[in-house]
Structure 1
Amino acid sequence: MSVTPLSPRGAAPETLLEVNDLRKHFTLGSGLFGRRARTLRAVDGVSFTVARGETLSLVGESGCGKSTVARSLMRLFPPTSGQVVLAGRRIDDLSAGTLRPLRRHIQMVFQDPFSSLNPRMSVRSILAEPIRNFGLAKGSADLDARLGALMERVGLPRDALGRYPHEFSGGQRQRIGIARALAAEPDLIICDEAVSALDVSVKAQIVNLLQDLQKELDLALLFISHDLAIVEHMTHRVAVMYLGKIVEIGPRRDIFLAPRHPYTRALLSAVPVPEPGAGRERIVLKGDVPSPIAPPPGCRFHTRCPHAFDRCRVEEPTLDSVGNGHLAACHLNEAAPARAA
Structure 2
Amino acid sequence: MTKRVLEVSDLKKHFPIRGGLLGGTVGYVYAVDGVSFHIDQGETLSLVGESGCGKSTVGKSVLRLFPLTSGQVVLNGKRIDDMSTGTLRPLRRQIQVVFQDPFSSLNPRLRVREILAEPIRNFGLANSEAEIDEKVGQLMDKVRLPRDAVNRWPHEFSGGQRQRICIARALAAEPDIIVCDEAVSALDVSVKAQIVNLLQDLQAELGLAMLFISHDLAIVEHMTHRVAVMYLGQIVEVADRKQLFGAPRHPYTEALLSAVPVPMPGAARERIVLQGDVPSPIKPPPGCRFHTRCPYAFDRCRKEVPRLQDNGAGHQAACHLHDLPAEQNPLLNKAPPTAFRAA
Above 0.5 in TM-score?
A: yes
Report the Cα distance in structure 1 between the residues aligned to 2:315 and 2:21, rounded to whole angstroms: 47
Q: Which residue of the partner structure matches residue 155 of structure 1?
A: 144
Q: Which residue of 1 aligns with 2:253?
A: 264
Q: What is the aligned counterpart of 1:165 among 154, 157, 164?
A: 154
Query: Aligned AA for 1:211?
Result: Q
Give 1:130 shift.
Answer: 0.3
Q: What residue in structure 1 maps to residue 35 of structure 2? A: 46
Instruction: Give TM-score scaled by structure 1 length.
Output: 0.95
Q: Aligned partners of 1:334 and 1:277: how far apart in 2?
A: 37
Aligned with 1:222: secondary structure?
A: strand
Alignment-derived partner of residue 118 in structure 1? 107
Equivalence for 1:176? 165
Amino acid at match of 1:217: L
Partners of 1:168 and 1:42 lie apart in 2 by 35
CA distance, structure 1, for counterparts of residue 83 and residue 66 of structure 2: 14
CA distance in 1, matches of 2:163, 2:67: 26
Tell whether 2:48 aligns with 1:59: yes
State the TM-score, normalizing by the size of structure 2.
0.94
Give the RMSD, CA atoms, in angstroms.
Answer: 1.2
State which of 78, 92, 103 in structure 2 corresponds to 1:103: 92
For residues 243-276 of structure 1, give each alpha carbon's deviation from its aligned partner in whole angstroms, at most 9, with x where no partner exists: 0000000100010001000000000001111211
1-side partners of 2:13 and 2:292: how far apart?
23
1:172-193 residue CA offsets vs partner (Å, 9 max, x unmatched):
0000000000000000000000
Query: Deviations along 1:129-182, whole A, 9 cap, x unmatched?
Result: 000000001211111100000001001000000101100000000000000000
Structure 1 ranges of 4+ moved more than 4 A: 33-36
Cα distance in 2 for partners of 1:315, 1:31 equals 33
Q: Tell me what 1:86 maps to.
A: 75
C-alpha displacement of 1:34: 8.9
Question: Which runs of structure 2 are paired with 1:165-244 in the superposition (5 Å)?
Answer: 165-244=154-233
Amino acid in the other structure paired with 2:105: S
Work out the number of aligned pairs and report it. 330
CA positional deviation for 1:36: 5.8
Sort the Cα spacing of 1:200 and 1:78 in 2 relative to 1 into closer, same or farther, 3 A. Answer: same
Say if 2:123 and 2:173, in contact at 8 Å, map to a contact too. yes
Query: Any gaps of 5 or more consecutive residues in structure 1?
Result: 1-11
Structure 2, unpaired ranges of 5+: 338-343
Instruction: Tell me the percent identity.
Output: 73
What's the CA shift string for 1:75-122, capped at 9, x where partnerless? 112111000001111011000000000000000000000000011110
The separation in 2 between residues aligned to 1:159 and 1:186, in whole angstroms, is 25
Distance 2:229 2:127 in 1: 43
| Whole-angstrom CA distance in 2 between matches of 1:294 and 1:234 | 35
CA drift at 1:32: 2.0
